[in-house]
Structure 1
């Protein structure tokens, strides 16, 4: 694991993690680009208190990156909170990585996949910091993964959002991921190149994984595309997955992205509103919009977080 600390324009402590999976090179490339561009860390403020903000950049699984494989012993993003004494490299690494992120106000974890666009975010606990992140990222959808695994980075490290930045191995994923990281830093006040922009983000609840058997796989619907009732989402020589209820959409839909699943089923549950607009919760799509101060509040913001928001309860 490589940790690179850089300075921040604000007081928040934020982190970006790339290279969780070694066969997803975009994350490492984005982190190194940011490390080259961001200002060096000034470890003390003018009064000598040393309480200035911090941008921590992490390249997580260096052995897997070198081997160009997803992991060496165990999937790192299925190994949290980890065990520092484990003989499995990634399980021990998970504990070290979680320690590096302890006490941070916002964390963004970078991923790519073989699934179809568009890029999207993932959260497990909607803290005020997570709300700021997901409504400030250039994505239309965020997956609520709170009902899925409890062994991922975003399910164990507070204020963490994961983002699928694009197709694995593509230059488009690198460029989009870089711009998404700049937006993340902007909305948490870590860079001040321009005003941050916020927008409502559609929430899709992750429901269940769709198993894959063997033979030639076929996926018939892309990420977040509504699957008509009675239609076949995916099939191979073992399974034919026919959707028997309305309102189901695919997440991480892919024919060859995973050995054992076609992706997941999800359901659109509502929207998350930008900071300062209504409550920090998921608003059902058809709910009457009665939030105070709604008009004109989805554009520029000062990008700062007050002390009551930073490090809030899970």
Structure 2
């Protein structure tokens, strides 16, 4: 694990983590670029911590060496498995941070999206301050990921694995994250409302030739088949279901995750939307009601 310290324009302590999975080199590239470009001694009292997490897996160009790092938190410092022992070291590097952003790519199709497990005000600021339309509430899924264990952590899927587009989008998303928390003051942050999708259940894969028929966040009509192979035929029997991380070949055991749209997440109270409205103005619709995902 490599840790790089940079200065901040504000008082918040924030961190960006890349390279949790060794077959997702975009995160390492983004962190290295930020390390080259950010000021080492900015004027604020806070700080920016940049972390390249799983150097051994990155060197081997494999997702993990012994165990999936993003499935073993909080880990075990005495474990013989490299990633299981690495997990508590990484968590310790993030202790006390006001905001954390973890970078990922996937085999799934665009659009990029954010993921959180616990909606703190810091998390609200992170996700509404980044250039994504969708945010996934993963609190009903695994409890062994970085964002489910380390407070104020958001994960972001920046694009397709191995693509230059993912690197460029991820870099811009990191700048937006830093602006949202006051660590970068080159331009004002932009906060916008997001569509919240609750991740409900993983969709298992069996064997044979896989087929996926719907894209990420595309509503699956009642009665339609989302995905199938020689073992499973996954037919949706209710309205409002959308796929998350839908992929035919990206994952060995799942086609993706079923999600359900929960509502709209509003920007922080001191935020300003892309239209120039304050969050309070945006939260109230024409009828005087309020629609907020909590």
The answer to whether the Cα contact below 8 Å between 1:5 and 1:41 also exists between their aligned partners in 2 is no
- Please give the secondary structure, in 1, of the residue aligned with 2:144: coil
Query: How far apart are the structure 1 equivalents of 2:253 and 2:19?
Result: 22
The answer to whether the Cα contact below 8 Å between 1:10 and 1:52 also exists between their aligned partners in 2 is yes
Query: How far apart are the structure 2 equivalents of 1:247 and 1:288?
Result: 26
User: What are the Cα deviations for residues 186-237 of structure 1, in whole angstroms up to 9, with x where unaligned?
Assistant: 0000010101000100000000000001111110000000000000000111
Query: How far apart are the structure 2 equivalents of 1:41 and 1:254?
Result: 43
Query: How far apart are the structure 1 equivalents of 2:40 and 2:228?
Result: 51
Aligned to 1:10: 10
Match status 1:175 vs 2:180: no
Where does 1:264-303 land on structure 2 (aligned, <5 Å)?
264-276=257-269, 277=279, 289-290=289-290
Give the Å deviation of 1:271: 1.1
User: What are the Cα deviations for residues 257-279 of structure 1, in whole angstroms up to 9, with x where unaligned?
Assistant: 1001000000000111001135x
Aligned to 2:114: 121
Give the Å deviation of 1:52: 1.5
Query: How far apart are the structure 2 equivalents of 1:41 and 1:52?
Result: 10
Aligned to 2:24: 24
- Please give the secondary structure, in 2, of the residue aligned with 1:122: strand
Give the Å deviation of 1:168: 0.2
Where does 1:1-314 land on structure 2 (aligned, <5 Å)?
1-41=1-41, 52-276=45-269, 277=279, 289-290=289-290
Query: How far apart are the structure 1 equivalents of 2:156 and 2:88?
Result: 21
Matched positions, count: 279
Aligned to 1:299: none
- Please give the secondary structure, in 2, of the residue aligned with 1:82: coil
User: What are the Cα deviations for residues 40-59 of structure 1, in whole angstroms up to 9, with x where unaligned?
Assistant: 146xx7xxxxx811000000
Q: For structure 1, which runs of at least 5 residues remain unmatched after alignment?
A: 46-50, 292-314
- Please give the secondary structure, in 2, of the residue aligned with 1:58: strand
Query: How far apart are the structure 1 equivalents of 2:122 and 2:178?
Result: 12
- Please give the secondary structure, in 1, of the residue aligned with 2:108: coil
Give the Å deviation of 1:288: 5.9
Query: How far apart are the structure 2 equivalents of 1:122 and 1:154?
Result: 8
Query: How far apart are the structure 1 equivalents of 2:85 and 2:71?
Result: 12
The answer to whether the Cα contact below 8 Å between 1:6 and 1:55 also exists between their aligned partners in 2 is yes
The answer to whether the Cα contact below 8 Å between 1:115 and 1:254 also exists between their aligned partners in 2 is yes
Give the Å deviation of 1:104: 0.2
Query: How far apart are the structure 2 equivalents of 1:25 and 1:186?
Result: 24
The answer to whether the Cα contact below 8 Å between 1:110 and 1:162 also exists between their aligned partners in 2 is yes
Query: How far apart are the structure 1 equivalents of 2:256 and 2:133?
Result: 19
Query: How far apart are the structure 2 equivalents of 1:41 and 1:145?
Result: 36
Query: How far apart are the structure 2 equivalents of 1:210 and 1:83?
Result: 29
User: What are the Cα deviations for residues 105-156 of structure 1, in whole angstroms up to 9, with x where unaligned?
Assistant: 0000000000010000000000000000010010000000001000000000
Query: How far apart are the structure 2 equivalents of 1:114 and 1:102?
Result: 31
Runs of 4+ in 1 over 4 A off after TM superposition: none
TM-score, normalised via structure 2 length: 0.92
Give the Å deviation of 1:83: 1.1
User: What are the Cα deviations for residues 17-66 of structure 1, in whole angstroms up to 9, with x where unaligned?
Assistant: 00000000100000000000001146xx7xxxxx8110000000000000
Aligned to 1:295: none
- Please give the secondary structure, in 2, of the residue aligned with 1:31: helix
